[in-house]
Structures are given as structure tokens and as C-alpha cells.
Structure 1
Amino acid sequence: MDGANMITAFLPCRKGSQRIPDKNIKPFAGIDGGLLKIKLQQLIACKRIDNIVVSSNDDRVLSFTESLNHSKITIDERADHLGSNSTTTDELIRYVPTLIDQGHILWTHVTSPFMNENDYTKLIEQYDESLKQGYDSLMTVLKVQGFIWSQSGPISYNRDELKWPMTQNIDPLYEIDSGAFISSVENYLTFNDRIGDSPKLIEQEKVKSVDIDWPDDFDFAEALWQRKL
């Protein structure tokens, strides 16, 4: 395949999650290897993904990934200064093009277990179509259409017009759910970002947007996973 058209999945798994210790690799819903195993199986099964780069400074993540011995997978033993609690996403973004130097990058996370190989295939197809429409990148979002406030007051509607409008008449907002970001290596280098300046927002159903960030999220996702089996 022409390298310019290759899709490489980037899967960051840093060591030392503060909110959910060992969340990448701890057993999930009775599955040894947990969220990492689930996500790698999904990415491997997606035929539109050519390569998978697993980047981690956690020996357990690296060891489990290596045990799969799959030809799609490249392991990056990330330096600790790029995998600490103080490492910013911006720093990691600048690092990615040193690992992937051509084609397009699909950045995803183990913490989105309900996005499967079929979802990734569809997203890549939507990305291809979006490029033809003038967009330069793609990211998944959850539509939020309701009474959204900050500490200063409402931000999704105007109470001077109606104090309690029907929610279906409120203009929707979109929460980035961290499910997937697809962009070219060129955009990473140009913008120092995992999206370009004209991203296509792909709305996901609520279950696909589940992002495991807090202990309650982990428990909820486990229960939902077992219920969907």
C-alpha cells in the first residue's frame, strides 16, 4: 500500500493513572488483560487499519502487547518524562510524528471499549469522505442538547427569551468524547495537533461515547459490558 494512504492506529497507555490505578491492564468484566486486550483485539480486527503503535512506559502494558506477537503491532517504549502525570497531551502530540512519519493517524484509547472494529471501519470511511468535502480531520463527539450552565449561568440557551425552553429547540453543543481522532501526519507537523483547522465532528450514540476516566465510569462500563454480552 502507498504509505501516504496508510492508516496507523496510535494507542497511548501511560503508567500510573491517578484516578483508576492500573486501568489499562487491570481485569475488566472478568477479562484478563482488561481494557488493553479488548482494544487491541478491536484494532487488529479492523481491516482498514494497517498498523498499530502501542506507546507506553508501563512494563505490564508492553509485556502484554508483546505477548500477542501480531504483525500489525509496533511497540514504543515511551520515556518516563512523556508518560508521567504531568505530561500534557500537547507534548505527546508533538512526539507522535517521531513514531509515525507518513499517512494518517487514528488516535484512540483503551478507555473507549464500546467502540469496536466496525465503528473504526465506518469512521475511516467517513474520514475519507470528509476529506473530499473539504474537511481536513475528524473527531468523535457526543451531542449535548439540554440545559447547560456554567457558574455564571446558562450557556446553551437564553433565559431572557424562555426560562425553560423545550430541549429539542435548544441548539446542541458537542462534547469531545476522546473515542477517535483521525488526521494526517502532515497536520500533526503543521498544527502541532491531532486535528487540523477544519475537523469533521462525528456524532456517536451515547454507549459508544462512554469514556472510562473515573472509578464510577469503570464500574458502570463493566456492568454495561456484561449486560451486552
Structure 2
Amino acid sequence: MSYIGFIPARAGSERVKYKNTRPFAGYDGGLLELKLLQLSRVSRLSRIIVSSNDPAVLEYAATFSRERDHRVEPCERPNEYGTGATSMETFIKDYIAHLSKDGTMLWTHVTHPFVRADTYDRALDEYERARTTGCDSLVSVNRVQKFLWKDGRPFNYDNTLEKWPRSQDLEPLWDINHAIYIMPFDVMRTAGDRITPKSHFFEIGEDVAMDIDWEEQFLLVEEIARARIEQGRSLL
């Protein structure tokens, strides 16, 4: 089976300036370098597409391809698909789904620095098992078992039966964390989306799924990354 890695990294982040390539936890190429190193350890990927309208990202990806892993392919993204105003639906249907005629995409983001190669390998293994049961794709999720309320009443438990059940007894909900999507390109073209009713949920821990959306998160996650490195824990 042909798997193609996909990293979207558009220019002009408003909340975290230069988040893709600014130095991060000892990696001079930042989150982009770290993610490319992680994906380079996933042997089942035949290609690793880096889609961006940021010259710095494209230049770094090209250098990485020449010097470290020829599977990396910088792909210049048309500006109409590279602004904050671009809807995700349009980005998926009109751009991503057509990056390859054949094969299966493994879509990930640089802003999940703790998703390592072994997690991607486990996701691919689980996807291949799930396909035998009729699933057509895989989406990474976090389990949510918290006391959630909506419209003045509990949302995910019945407090007329027990006011405070044990949290582990709550029926789990699933938070799509955007760390990993695995889907054949033809399924994406048909669905017009990166999730379908037949998607398999792949649970990962919150310590793995940490995401960077804000400057404060960048600084906090960087400190956690440095601490893990000092403890001898690989980020790769």
C-alpha cells in the first residue's frame, strides 16, 4: 500500500509568528524540522509533501530533501488556498484531495511536536486492521470523560440517577485532535472531507496530542520538549 505524508504549513500565522520555522527546543529549523525528522523515520511513506505558500518553509523543505531525505517534496501552494480566510472545506475538496491520483494520505501538522514516528507507525497498523472491518479512514482522537453541561443540565450523564458518578464511568466522548488523518485520496475526493461515517477513531494520549495554537502554548510546549530531552526521552 502506498502512503503519502502530507504537512500543510501556510504562511502568515497570526497567533504564533513564524511558528513553522522559528527555533524550537534546540531544533534550528523549528517545528518543521522536528516533524520532518519524525516522518523520515516512518519507512512506509513513499513521499512526504510539504504544502506551503511560505518561501521559508519551501526553502527549508527543499534543503531537507537534498541533504537528509529525498522523499520530502516542497509543494508551492496557490495563495487562494493559503490564507486564514480559506475555508477548510474548500481546502480539502479543491486542493488536498487532488494532490495525488492514487495512494493513501497520512495528514499531520508541525504543531503536534510530540507525535513521534512510533505513533505514526501504530496509526498505520491500526488503519490497516480497521480496513478489514469496513472502515475507510482513520482519525486521531482524545477520550473525553469529564462532567460536561449544556443548557443548564448535564450533557453526558444523568444526575437524576447519580449526581456525581465516577469520571471513568462516564460514557466517553471523542475529541478530534487533528494530529493524524489517514485516508485514501479517492475517498477524500468522494467524501469532500477528511472524516466519514466509516472513519476509525485512533485514541492517543493528551501528552502526545499537545497542539500549539497560541504564543503561550508555543513557549509552554517548548519547555516540556526541553525537559523531555534532558530526561533522555527522544522527540523522534
Give TM-score, length-normalised by structure 2: 0.91
Corresponding position of 2:22? 26
Determine if contact 2:98/2:185 at 8 Å carries over to the other structure: no
Counterparts in 2 of 1:160 and 1:133: CA distance versus 1, 3 Å: same
Counterparts of 1:150 and 1:24, CA distance in 2: 36
Corresponding position of 2:233? none
Corresponding position of 1:223? 223
* Residues 79-116 of structure 1: CA deviation (Å, up to 9, x unaligned): 11101011121111121132211110011000111111
User: 1:166-185 maps to which residues of 2 (within 5 A)?
Assistant: 166-185=166-185
Corresponding position of 1:133? 133
Instruction: Give the drift of 1:43.
Output: 0.8
Counterparts of 1:152 and 1:18, CA distance in 2: 35
Counterparts in 2 of 1:220 and 1:72: CA distance versus 1, 3 Å: same
The farther-off stretch of 188-197 and 55-64 is 188-197
* Residue segments in structure 1 that go unaligned for 5+ positions in a row: none
AA of the residue aligned to 1:30: G
1:186 aligns with 2:186: yes
Give TM-score, length-normalised by structure 1: 0.94
Counterparts of 2:7 and 2:101, CA distance in 1: 16
RMSD of aligned alpha carbons:
1.3
Counterparts of 1:214 and 1:134, CA distance in 2: 38
Corresponding position of 1:147? 147
AA of the residue aligned to 1:113: P
The number of residue pairs the alignment matches comes to: 225
AA of the residue aligned to 1:13: A
Corresponding position of 1:206? 206
Determine if contact 1:187/1:195 at 8 Å carries over to the other structure: no
* Residues 126-159 of structure 1: CA deviation (Å, up to 9, x unaligned): 1111000111110111111111234644322222
Moved over 4 A (4+): none
Corresponding position of 1:102? 102
1:44 aligns with 2:40: yes
Corresponding position of 1:161? 161
Determine if contact 1:82/1:92 at 8 Å carries over to the other structure: yes
Q: Secondary structure at the match of 2:51?
A: strand
